[in-house]
Amino acid sequence: MKLLIRNLARTTTENMLLTMFEAHGFVQSCSLVMDKKTGDSKGFGFVEMPKAGEAKIAIKMLNGKEIDGSKIRVKKAEPKPDEE
């Protein structure tokens, strides 16, 4: 299950994101979306967890949690129209 993580602090690193989600199960991939011009985080990212049960627990445990001074939002990522 692909998860969308929004409202991340600009100081949150990919490694921090990975560690947060690994506490709830196996993480297949983890990526922060970066601004091409500045190289800074855009404040959101994606985590892919192959086991739906683990992903649902991660959503429940992490959605609304305060990380680096920002209350993050975690939900199932909607597929892009061309991925359906």
Q: 14-59: per-residue pLDDT in tens?
A: 999 999 999 999 999 999 999 999 999 999 999 999 999 999 999 9
The model's pTM:
0.91
Name which of 35, 1, 2, 5 is nearest 17 in CA terms: 5
- Do 46 and 2 meet the contact criterion of CB atoms below 8 Å apart? yes
Domains of the chain from N-terminus onward: 2-65 (3.30.70.330)
**Residues across the chain:** 84
d(CA 5, CA 13): 13
DSSP three-state, residue 15: helix
> 52 phi and psi, to 5 degrees?
-60, -40
Res 1: pLDDT: 96
